[in-house]
Structure 1
Amino acid sequence: MVPRPRPRPRPSPGQTYHSSILIRNQPPYPSIFHISLSLSHSLYNYNYNYNCCVHCDSGIPTVFEPYWRRMGDKCRVVIQGCDLMSYRATTTNLCWYLLPELEEAIRRLHRVVGNAVVDERHVVVGTGSTQLFQAALYALSTPAAAAAAPQPINVVSAAPYYSCYPDETDYLCSRLYKWAGDANQYDSKSGPFIEVVTSPNNPDGCLREPVVEAHGQGKLIHDLAYYWPQFTPITRPADHDLMYFTFSKCTGHAGSRIGWALVKDREVAIKMTKYMDLSSIGVSKDSQFRAAKIMELLCNNYDQKLGSNFSNNFFEYGKSLMAERWKSLRDVIGRSDVFSLPTFEQQYCCFFGRLSQSYPAFAWLRCKEEIEDCGSFLREHKIEGRSGRRFGADAKYLRISMLSSDDVFQQFLERLSAIKILNNAN
């Protein structure tokens, strides 16, 4: 049974709580929202009891919470009751709901990091990368293309692929597109297709390229959610026709639900924006405003010389933290004859200006041959991950999140070590 979160203190007169938002109702009573980035640990710490499972399934990036707590008021935003009331933004951008502040922040951030080409690209903002994926499928599966094909356009991705692609593709039972599985097994002569290229890949952290020969019939979506310096070396600016990123993996702010696509073709960008219009009439301006503020802070910190203030440089902090976690995990795995992990070669990182290692957001754990189902085996030891079958791979594999809070990750390591001890004892 999951323990209840600790109760909050009672609000003082004139204050009410809603989630992490403190609402101060002060004369003359227009509501002013003071949004603090310091979320309560009680929202995430569910693993106090050793009899409960340690949940390493989700990719919720609470690992970065201490950094943002340390930033304090530097990221605080104040939104008055009369602000941001319109669906539309004051912009001539084809993405009509995109705040100019956010567009500027996105372009600046990519130029600072050097992980994507932003010149001559249209920015389309969505409610996380999940909505952008749907919008991209809609835009690339045009009615004209659908009319030319007797069947919905096939959507493929090389296994192991992101576990949610099949469900997200087929959820609406669209007549425009359908999930067709592993791109490695797809025959491009079967007709038009869309290949989703995830790089670095979720779940195994490998850098990816397209695998299907297009023959003039294929279109590409590049999911670059994890192409940030804390996870992988930035080898070059990504330069693709349609590529998208997500705020949740860039900075850890999954709850803001902000993602953005960089789109070369104007007509594709217009169709993606149309999808946003029909599905949600744009994207929350409150979230856009907060995201722009946080991106601005990231860039301002890097106007200083890289490495001059380690604690304030988010990507240096994030990389150091991920490196420490991966070292701890590899130390445990190295003492075990039960599990193995993939290895990654060092590459030159243009952002850090030196050879760098990959520290993916997920560990692609493999059990030894005698264990048929890694997920079931670890569940017996109170560790919950995501089965390799969900990713189009073998059940011997299990995806483990490296992004959990410190206490959850520590419990995971302790339980994994105990499995090794029990195994040696037998």
Structure 2
Amino acid sequence: MVANNVLSAAPLNNDGLSSSNTNAPLQNSFINLDQGDTVLFESYWRKMSDECAVVIKGCELLSYVSDNASVCWFMKPELRDVIKRLHALVGNAETQDGHIVIGNGSTQLFHASLFALSSSSNSPNPINVVAASPYYSGYPDETDIVCSSLYKWSGDAKVYDKNEEYIEIVTSPNNPDGSLRRPVVNKKLGREGKLIHDLAYYWPHYTPITHKANHDLMLFTFSKCTGHSGSRIGWAIVKDMDIAKKMTRYIVMNSIGVSKESQTRAAKIMEVLCDSYDQNFKLGSKNSELFFEYSKRLIKERWEKLREVIKENGDLILPKFPGAYCNFTKESSETYPAFAWLMCKKDEDGVSYLEKELKVLARSGNRFGSGPRCTRINMLSRGDDFHEFLKRLSNIKEISY
């Protein structure tokens, strides 16, 4: 049995906070913790609803074009400016020498990056695309779905040994296991390939900000920064203008730009976020209700509860993360990833274990190039779902479905 303070904890509501109401229908139904929705942050933005509201008149935003002087000519200047402002505030990425390209989420930017980097290659064969396992489950399918003659998925970067050109995806913090990553192929082969740094989770509510990233091509996404997955806004910071132009061309050919309505909303929300910190700095106070502090507290509470339950459960293992000093919060902290990477202690299929014993849907380690013992659990799901997951996990020895 698990400690009393976990078993007796009040259920979490859809905000991830305590609630006195129970959710009876969940008790005998499957819980979907497979998807990567970021609804945990809903409670913060509900409080900021009025400040973040935008009004778009019927006569506005008719043109495809936003700024003919920009490499990414369909990007609204106010979105570009607030993206730079946000990175300057957090200190997680250098934007001064880079060109910003926006896309319909970082997924479209990933495709644009592959196109831009591979079309710049001199190789007569498709360039190999690799990532160190466990890698994000979407990379293989997203790479091969277009059946491109320019590039192809070639698996785990840790075992890649071909004397051919390659593109390595470096995801840090990593999805699914939360680890901090660096390129691995160049260490082994003694030569550098082309790199895509996916920094979707390099924000202070997930991990300490230890340095200002300054890579050739970096991907970020609105969904993981603020939780607004439905807006489908992502951005790349690209040093090489030719690469930025090719990425822009891909997005134009693919979707003729990015919705200006989404851009307007994203710019407003990021502006409100930045303004709140600027105001707080002027007052010289430390406000725990600011977005990154508030969100980090919610994620931290979930991780603490999950670790306590896992400790008592005995069948599963969670990774451990080293602490580090965060330049943004000015204090030492651990990493609290958006996903939990669970491993079965026994040689057992993790997805089958969770589905059979707990009626929980999770994503198999097979899809991350890591084997079936591991599974990925969404830590940013709705409160009722997460609490029911903890409840079932803590009572697993007594549950029989």
Q: Same fold (TM over 0.5)?
A: yes
Structure 2 unpaired stretches of 5+: 1-14, 16-22
**Aligned with 1:199 (options 158, 172, 178):** 172
Q: C-alpha offsets along residues 247-287 of structure 1, whole Å, 9 cap, x if unaligned?
A: 00000000000000000000000000000110000000000
1:216 Cα deviation from its structure 2 partner = 4.8
When residues 72 and 202 of structure 1 are mapped into structure 2, their CA distance, relative to the original with a 3 A threshold, is: same
SS in structure 2 at match of 1:255: helix
Task: Report the counterpart of residue 275 of structure 2 in structure 1.
Answer: 300
Q: For residues 188 and 119 of structure 1, what CA distance do their matches in structure 2 show?
A: 35
Q: For residues 308 and 301 of structure 1, what CA distance do their matches in structure 2 show?
A: 12
Q: For residues 204 and 321 of structure 2, what CA distance do their matches in structure 1 show?
A: 15
Task: Report the counterpart of residue 161 of structure 1 in structure 2.
Answer: 135
Q: C-alpha offsets along residues 102-160 of structure 1, whole Å, 9 cap, x if unaligned?
A: 00000000000000001011000000000000000000001x52xx3242100000000
Q: How many residues align?
A: 374
Structure 1 unpaired stretches of 5+: 1-37, 39-45
Q: C-alpha offsets along residues 346-378 of structure 1, whole Å, 9 cap, x if unaligned?
A: 101000011111000000001112x42010111
- 2:173·2:181 contact (CA, 8 Å) conserved in 1? yes
Task: Report the counterpart of residue 344 of structure 1 in structure 2.
Answer: 321
Task: Report the counterpart of residue 195 of structure 2 in structure 1.
Answer: 220
Q: For residues 72 and 295 of structure 2, what CA distance do their matches in structure 1 show?
A: 31
Task: Report the counterpart of residue 173 of structure 1 in structure 2.
Answer: 147
1:51 Cα deviation from its structure 2 partner = 2.5
Q: For residues 123 and 397 of structure 2, what CA distance do their matches in structure 1 show?
A: 54
- 2:40·2:383 contact (CA, 8 Å) conserved in 1? yes
Matched, 1:364 2:341: yes
- 1:230·1:316 contact (CA, 8 Å) conserved in 2? yes
Matched, 1:210 2:186: no
| Counterpart AA for 2:353 | F
Higher relative contact order (CA 8 A, sep 6+): 2
- 2:93·2:213 contact (CA, 8 Å) conserved in 1? yes
Q: For residues 201 and 217 of structure 1, what CA distance do their matches in structure 2 show?
A: 21
- 1:122·1:262 contact (CA, 8 Å) conserved in 2? yes
SS in structure 2 at match of 1:79: coil
Task: Report the counterpart of residue 396 of structure 1 in structure 2.
Answer: 373
- 2:338·2:379 contact (CA, 8 Å) conserved in 1? yes
Task: Report the counterpart of residue 67 of structure 2 in structure 1.
Answer: 90
**Aligned with 1:375 (options 320, 342, 351):** 351
Task: Report the counterpart of residue 310 of structure 1 in structure 2.
Answer: 288
- 1:126·1:276 contact (CA, 8 Å) conserved in 2? yes
Q: For residues 47 and 305 of structure 2, what CA distance do their matches in structure 1 show?
A: 24
Q: How does 1:104-119 map to 2 (within 5 A)?
A: 104-119=81-96
Task: Report the counterpart of residue 247 of structure 1 in structure 2.
Answer: 222
Task: Report the counterpart of residue 28 of structure 1 in structure 2.
Answer: none
SS in structure 2 at match of 1:310: coil
**With structure 2 as the length reference, what TM-score do the two structures score?**
0.90
- 1:124·1:262 contact (CA, 8 Å) conserved in 2? yes
Matched, 1:152 2:126: yes
SS in structure 2 at match of 1:80: coil
Q: Which deviates the most, 254-263 or 410-419?
A: 410-419
SS in structure 2 at match of 1:78: coil
Q: For residues 212 and 341 of structure 1, what CA distance do their matches in structure 2 show?
A: 27
Task: Report the counterpart of residue 353 of structure 1 in structure 2.
Answer: 330
1:337 Cα deviation from its structure 2 partner = 1.1
1:385 Cα deviation from its structure 2 partner = 0.5
Q: For residues 139 and 179 of structure 1, what CA distance do their matches in structure 2 show?
A: 16
Q: Which deviates the most, 200-209 or 408-417?
A: 408-417
Task: Report the counterpart of residue 36 of structure 2 in structure 1.
Answer: 59
- 1:337·1:420 contact (CA, 8 Å) conserved in 2? no
- 2:392·2:399 contact (CA, 8 Å) conserved in 1? no
Q: For residues 193 and 309 of structure 1, what CA distance do their matches in structure 2 show?
A: 46
Q: C-alpha offsets along residues 304-334 of structure 1, whole Å, 9 cap, x if unaligned?
A: 13753322x1000011111100001001011
- 1:188·1:215 contact (CA, 8 Å) conserved in 2? no
Percent identity (aligned): 56
Matched, 1:268 2:246: no
Matched, 1:419 2:393: no
Q: C-alpha offsets along residues 404-424 of structure 1, whole Å, 9 cap, x if unaligned?
A: 01111111111111214559x
- 1:363·1:402 contact (CA, 8 Å) conserved in 2? yes
- 2:105·2:222 contact (CA, 8 Å) conserved in 1? yes
Task: Report the counterpart of residue 265 of structure 2 in structure 1.
Answer: 290
- 2:344·2:374 contact (CA, 8 Å) conserved in 1? yes
SS in structure 1 at match of 2:273: helix
